[in-house]
């Protein structure tokens, strides 16, 4: 018998009026298969180890009944999943491969009701050769703030002095000494409740090191030593430095659905190796809660969903639809050598591009709303010198 949970999931998607036949088929097992519901908290505990046991049991079950649907139910609550730094990811989906009509479904109680808090330093979700998985109705986040910000005290040749706002991490807290990539500054309107990205004359400025000056003041040294930034005292500057694991990192596979999932603190996820038939529906990346009444400029140090990478094989049949992407630390959504559709999304204040379609001329991009961030269609993925050149 098809479970009430699965019926509810199907009904909600039908109500959206935007569900295809392929997704309907994915939500309903064939007549000779079963839908099994396992409550993770009751049977295993909502911990990294408990989820591993549930996944291992599901893989064993699929060897006997490949076309069954298994629903792993996640109760309402806030759950800390403490992965080991030696692990590739806290939730490892490697080798999950139901039969052609089977499916493994991670079902939360709601985007604001089931909160999974992952370790800061490793991927939240990882896997190689992953097929026919759904994750729905949950919020994935990290323990600590991953970005910072401060107001300009003074700007000089090759440097800027910032006073870090109360409660935000210091530049040292978010600095990744193992990489010289992904460290940038950009200017925002100095608003306590809703800082907005400044578009004109506000290119990303790469920084290399931060020197404490005492009393919350830090000297940020720029990569270009002969550049004086056009910052004035009192300007609000967002600070990012990519570090830690991805929210998901999946290499090789097919047919993955994120539905009604929210990401904060870490928002970047990557599908690699020609992974195809990816669907990201009704999902959210957003800034975390204010600190001492100050809304963060950035949601995270990285972007949002990345479907493919520049040198990966082509990927086909991908859909990003009806999502809300706010203030991601790079491209809010990106296609690389990909076909499919990005539609009905609201994208605001992405640090780089709102939508990047690199070497993806057949990707359909329609009916999206982009605020203070551009769409870039290009053969390669290089940023222009000034992102405002892309804004119509």
pLDDT of residue 119: 87
pLDDT of residue 17: 45
> Per-residue confidence at 158, pLDDT binned at 50, 70, 90?
very high
> Per-residue confidence at 125, pLDDT binned at 50, 70, 90?
very high
Residue range 148-241 forms a domain whose CATH class is mainly beta
Label residue 382 left, alpha or beta by phi (over 0 means left) and psi (-120 to 50 means alpha).
beta
Q: Which helix (H) or strand (E) holds 364?
A: strand 364-366
> Per-residue confidence at 20, pLDDT binned at 50, 70, 90?
very low
The Cα 132–Cα 276 span in angstroms is 11
Half-sphere exposure (Cβ direction) of 150: Cα atoms closer than 13 Å: 25
Q: What would the two tokens of residue 109 be? A: 């109680």
Give one DSSP letter per residue of 66-129, joined into a string: TT-EEEEE--SEEEEE---TTSSEEEE-TT----TT-EEEEE-S-TTTEEEEE-SSSEEEEEEE
pLDDT of residue 388: 59
| Average pLDDT over the chain, rounded to an integer | 91
pLDDT of residue 177: 79
pLDDT of residue 390: 62
pLDDT of residue 116: 98
The Cα 307–Cα 350 span in angstroms is 17
**Do residues 159 and 221 touch, judged by C-beta distance below 8 A?**
yes
pLDDT of residue 2: 39
What does the pLDDT look like over 56-110, one tens digit per residue? Answer: 999 999 999 999 999 999 999 999 998 776 577 899 999 999 999 999 999 999 9
Does 243 or 164 have the greater pLDDT score?
164
Label residue 92 left, alpha or beta by phi (over 0 means left) and psi (-120 to 50 means alpha).
beta
Does 373 or 5 have the greater pLDDT score?
373
**Do residues 90 and 48 touch, judged by C-beta distance below 8 A?**
yes
Stretch 204-216: mean pLDDT: 95
Where do the domains of the chain lie?
4-142+245-390, 148-241
Cβ neighbours of residue 245 under 8 Å, at least 6 residues apart? 89, 118, 119, 120, 121, 122, 123, 124, 266
> Per-residue confidence at 164, pLDDT binned at 50, 70, 90?
very high
pLDDT of residue 387: 63
Residue % of the chain over a pLDDT of 90 = 81
Stretch 356-364: mean pLDDT: 97
pLDDT of residue 86: 59
Q: Is the pLDDT of residue 239 over 70?
A: yes
Q: What would the two tokens of residue 226 be? A: 């002969």
pLDDT of residue 83: 74
> Per-residue confidence at 4, pLDDT binned at 50, 70, 90?
very low
Q: Is the pLDDT of residue 228 over 90?
A: yes
Q: What would the two tokens of residue 268 be? A: 């970047």
């Amino acid at each position: 018998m098809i479970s009430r949970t699965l019926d509810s999931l199907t009904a909600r998607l039908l109500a959206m009026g935007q569900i295809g036949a392929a997704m309907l088929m994915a939500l309903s097992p064939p007549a000779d298969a079963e839908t099994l519901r396992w409550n993770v908290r009751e049977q295993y505990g909502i911990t990294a180890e408990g989820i591993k046991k549930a996944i291992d049991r599901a893989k064993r079950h699929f060897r006997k009944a490949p076309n069954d649907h298994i629903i792993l139910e996640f109760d309402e609550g806030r759950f800390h999943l403490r992965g080991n730094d030696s692990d590739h990811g806290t939730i490892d989906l490697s080798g999950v491969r139901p039969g052609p009509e089977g499916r493994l479904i991670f079902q939360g109680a709601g985007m604001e009701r089931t909160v999974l808090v992952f370790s800061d330093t490793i991927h939240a979700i990882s896997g190689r050769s992953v097929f026919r998985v759904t994750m729905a109705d949950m919020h994935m986040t990290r323990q600590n703030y991953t970005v910072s910000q401060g107001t300009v005290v003074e700007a000089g040749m090759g440097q800027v002095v910032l006073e870090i706002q109360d409660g935000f991490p210091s530049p040292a807290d978010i600095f990744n000494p193992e990489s010289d990539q992904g460290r940038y500054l950009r200017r925002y309107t100095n608003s306590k409740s809703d800082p907005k990205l400044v578009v004109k004359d506000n290119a990303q400025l790469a920084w290399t090191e931060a020197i404490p000056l005492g009393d919350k003041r830090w000297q940020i040294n720029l990569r270009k030593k002969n550049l004086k930034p056009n910052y004035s005292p009192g300007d609000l500057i967002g600070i990012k430095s990519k570090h830690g694991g991805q929210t998901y990192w999946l290499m090789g596979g097919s047919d993955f659905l994120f539905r009604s999932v929210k990401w904060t603190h870490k928002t970047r996820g990557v599908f690699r190796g020609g992974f195809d038939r990816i669907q990201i529906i009704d999902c959210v990346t957003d800034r975390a809660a204010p600190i001492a009444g100050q809304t963060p400029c950035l949601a995270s140090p990285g972007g949002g969903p990345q479907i493919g990478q520049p040198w990966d094989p082509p990927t086909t049949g991908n859909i990003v639809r009806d999502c809300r992407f706010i203030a991601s630390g790079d491209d809010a959504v990106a296609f690389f050598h990909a076909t499919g559709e990005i539609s009905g999304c609201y994208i605001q204040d992405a640090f780089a591009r709102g939508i990047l379609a690199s070497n993806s001329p057949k990707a359909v991009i329609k009916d999206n709303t982009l605020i203070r961030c551009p769409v870039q269609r290009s053969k390669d993925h290089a940023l222009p010198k000034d992102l405002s050149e892309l804004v119509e």
